[in-house]
Amino acid sequence: MRLDRSLVAGLAGALLAFAVPAMAQSWDTYSYPAAGFAVQFPTPPAVERGAWRTNAGLSVPSAIYAARLDRVDYVVTIADFSGTALDKDAAIADASKVLVKDGQVMVDVEARISTEYGRELSIAHKDGAMAIVAAFFIKQKLYVLEGRAPGPDAKASSASLIHFQQSLQFIE
């Protein structure tokens, strides 16, 4: 029995259409009320303490929530600027400079989650990697979300990077 190529292609396309939403459904939402946010990760994130260094050299304590799947990194960093005089616009502008250090900005837009405003960037790095990031400054805390896929096939991961970026929520 011979199958028509168009029938086979149509069946393959239909199977793929059902497989993609199934993969997207494997992401789980992780909620951190004490930190004020929730986000979806493809695998359970590790949480560690660290330091965020500004472009000007100031170092502040941070909490880092990170997961990795298929060589793609998904990271939320919360830097605590309590006790500093840094304002929202300066903090977000500085974070943008830190995140773009070894790359070129492809997209830079204002972002909004509920009533909070920030920036979203798409960055092409010199090593072929691609990053999709977001930065918000709320109650003296800088929230930096970064999804980064390695080169040379970084574009193949763009859907998961966007999924990660768009899943960020601020909670109380």
Q: Picking from 31-40, 117-126, 142-151, 155-164, which range would have the lowest pLDDT averaged per residue?
A: 155-164
Split into its structural domains, the chain has a count of: 1
* Mean pLDDT of all residues in 32-57: 95
Q: For residue 75, is it within any domain?
A: yes
**pTM of this prediction?**
0.82
Q: For residue 59, is it within any domain?
A: yes
CATH number at residue 95: 3.40.1000.10
167 three-class SS? coil
Q: For residue 139, is it within any domain?
A: yes
Q: For residue 2, is it within any domain?
A: no
pLDDT, mean over the chain: 85
Q: For residue 96, is it within any domain?
A: yes
pLDDT band at 6 (very low <50, low <70, confident <90, very high): very low
Give tens-digit pLDDT for 119-141: 999 999 888 889 999 999 999 99
CA 30 to chain centre: 14
Q: For residue 7, is it within any domain?
A: no
Distance CA(106)–CA(121), nearest Å, equals 7
Dihedral sign for Cα 126, 163, 70, 13, please. Answer: negative
pLDDT at position 8: 35
Q: For residue 70, is it within any domain?
A: yes
Q: For residue 51, is it within any domain?
A: yes
Higher-confidence residue: 2 or 143?
A: 143
Show the domain range for 94: 28-170
